[in-house]
Chain A
Amino acid sequence: MSEIVVEGLTKKYGKNVVLDNVSLKISAKEYFVLLGPSGSGKSTLLRLIAGLEEITSGSIYIGDKKVNDLLPKERNVAMVFQNYALYPHMNVFENIALPLKVRGMTKVETNRKVREVAETLHIQGLLEKKPKQISGGEQQRVALARALVRDPTVFLLDEPLSNLDAKLRVEARAFLKRLQKEVGITTIFVTHDQAEATTIATRIAVLNRGTITQVDDPYMLYSRPSDVFTAGFVGSPSMNLIHGVARKQGADWEFHSEDLDVVLGKTGLADEKEVIIGVRPEELTVSKEGPGLSGSVSNVELLGSISYVTVSVGKTSLVVQLPGRPGIEIGDQAKVELRPESVLLFDAKTGGRIDTKA
């Protein structure tokens, strides 16, 4: 009923291709996130679904209806913008009421619906105020109210949390998640913050320069990234990525780079290949003595319950996550150890992950 299907969607501005043949299927009631760096096309994709921009080629279906040529108001979508875009000259009540007023709803009905929605979002006390008189968090809830009051089919959010300060952002995230579940509406959320994406989404589509690299739930994105880009983008601090060659030495496969050598597990490769290996910081350990790669500690970051230690092995930097305080300081010599099973293998030319289960 409120699924969204995007088929072969391309958007060009003149010669500039912003979205290249993108396809997606979003199920009803999903909290779907579009994740990517700036310029990846995520906002453009959202705006195309909203109807604010024209499609160059491809199709969009909301429910079972093809909406390519429909105006935003005909698609029954609701949108919350990064800067909330509240009408500055109207008070909160009028802001929320406007969509209903335009549809010809009676004053009594409008009144009732607005107050209902205001209560859901806990902003009943603000109805008389003007946008500039309320805080950022309150403005955001007004924007949400305005979007919800029309019972839209789809809820579109374009980086709505980036203007909030850190603590408020975390609260707002949780609030949105609860709200979405309660109202049960298909939601598409755009962000560049991967931590935000992984905490709230049911599924995430990762975009890079106009194409989708992977669509998956947060856990799969994290543990089974489809390519180097996704591997490096999801997870903070980033996965350690090292360029080199995978070669068979006798019965085992080994990885060689300028600075280090690592024994790999099964690789599923036929021949020697130029690869990039990836290891998450929490899969590495550091010790003063013991087995592993030798290097010197170049940075230590203490975060309370965990620390990040950066070790320079030759010219390669490896970031290691350790519990508590590391007991190592900058300048110390240290050894970095890893388990071959935790290493992900990527084709150096295509960036795609090599499935080692083969």
Chain B
Amino acid sequence: MQRGQTLKVGLVLASPIVVYFAAFFVYPLFNLLQNAFTSNSGALTIANFQSMLSDPILSVALSNTAYYFVGSVALEYSVGFMVAVLLYAYSGRLKSIFRTIIFLPLMVSPVVIGLMWILILNTNYGPLDYILSPLGLGKVDWLGSQSLAMPSLILANTWEYSPFVFLIIYAGLQTVPPQLYEAASVDGLSRFQTFRFITLPAIRPSIVVAFLLNSIGVLKGFDLIYVLTNGGPGFATYILSFYTYVVGFSFFETHYAAAIALLFLAIIGTFVFAMLRFTSVEVYLGLKRGEGE
């Protein structure tokens, strides 16, 4: 295509998104930066960031977030991964039924998921304590106790998110060319060896992407907490996303809220940065050929 014409057409086609970008990304970002670095009187200051250091709720929120993050990702990732491998190993007519069922949590709104787990986790009438009663627990106040609220949240989140990890790993497993397995069996590898030396390396990109998307998804999560515990009991399930909202819309402290929002953005940014290193955008755009093309 002629070069001059190319750029013009490209810009015309991209103009709607550029408009949106300016209005809903650049301007808000600018607004946040402006607010974060000024005080109520309009003077330039870094006081907002300094307040972060002495904010007890923030430190609780951060440690909760770490707890939530590690617990959720560990559980979700291992469950999702295992289920993907199991379904992949199975061959039979029930395969698509299984897959549809495993997908179900992905199609239900997080608010409804919260609702479901409220019913399940209820102390008096919910089925969870009952099912676990053989372990001698009796009535358990899942959502009301400081120590159990977060684990309950993690449990619900695992139900919600493990299918997502499953999806990515499963899709990755399906791209492994069957000839690799045939070559491995001819070479005499055991099933375990095949898994370790052939399958795992082949799905390395999926493994990494699943981990990073899972992490980002957990950190972003808001709906489930709002519905299930609303940050409680006390501050036991305050995590960063929730706190960001609270500072803005319960406390109405615009400047401090902006600072917190930027902190949140920075944290997510590091994960995204890691992800960008592993995702080859060039292949996606057709600028570079991928491996095996």
Contact = CB atoms under 8 A, between A and B. Distances in A.
Q: Is chain A's binding surface mostly helix, strand, loop or mixed?
A: loop
A69 B2 CA distance: 8
A54 B5 CA distance: 12
A71 interface: yes
Nearest to A69: B2
A60 to B, nearest CB: 14
Contacts of B2: 54, 69, 71
Nearest to B1: A52
A54 B2 CA distance: 6
Interface string A56-89: 0000000000000101000000000000000000
B15 to A, nearest CB: 23
B3 interface: yes
Contacts of A69: 2
Contacts of A52: 1
Interface residues of B, number: 4
Interface residues of A, number: 4
Contacts of A71: 2, 5
A69 B3 CA distance: 11
Contacts of B3: 54
Nearest to B5: A71
A257 B3 CA distance: 54
A52 B1 CA distance: 5
A325 B36 CA distance: 92
Interface in B1-25: 1-3, 5
A54 B1 CA distance: 7
Interface string A289-303: 000000000000000
A339 to B, nearest CB: 51
A238 B1 CA distance: 39
B243 to A, nearest CB: 50
Contacts of A54: 2-3
B58 to A, nearest CB: 52
A71 B5 CA distance: 10
Nearest to B3: A54
B7 to A, nearest CB: 13
Interface string A305-317: 0000000000000
B9 to A, nearest CB: 12
Nearest to A70: B2
A71 B3 CA distance: 11
Contacts of B1: 52
A235 to B, nearest CB: 35
A44 to B, nearest CB: 15
A52 B6 CA distance: 12
A113 B45 CA distance: 76
A202 to B, nearest CB: 32
Contacts of B5: 71
B289 to A, nearest CB: 16
Nearest to A51: B2
A54 B7 CA distance: 14
B57 to A, nearest CB: 56
A7 B55 CA distance: 76
Nearest to A52: B1
A52 B2 CA distance: 8
B279 to A, nearest CB: 26
Interface in A133-156: none
Interface in B174-223: none
A13 to B, nearest CB: 13
B5 to A, nearest CB: 8
Interface string A200-211: 000000000000
6 contacts: A52-B1, A54-B2, A54-B3, A69-B2, A71-B2, A71-B5
Interface of B: 1-3, 5
Nearest 6 interchain pairs by C-beta: A54-B3, A54-B2, A71-B2, A52-B1, A69-B2, A71-B5
